[in-house]
Amino acid sequence: MTGRVKVSHLIQDSIFADVHKLSKIEFIEEHFNVTDDEFIRYVDINGIPGVICYDPDEDVVYDGHKRVILAWLLGIETIEYAYGESQFLLDLEI
40-64 per-position pLDDT tens digit: 888 889 988 889 999 999 999 998 8
What pLDDT does residue 87 have? 52
Q: State the average pLDDT for the chain.
A: 85
Secondary structure of the chain in HEC code, one letter for each residue: CEEEEEHHHHHHCCEECCCCCCCHHHHHHHHHHCCCHHHHHHHHHHCCCCCEEEECCCCEEEECHHHHHHHHHCCCCEEEEECCHHHHHHHHHC
pLDDT of amino acid 66: 86
Residue ranges, the chain, pLDDT below 70: 85-94
Per-residue confidence (pLDDT) for residue 85, from 0 to 100: 59
- pTM value is 0.79
Tell me the CATH class for 2-93: alpha beta
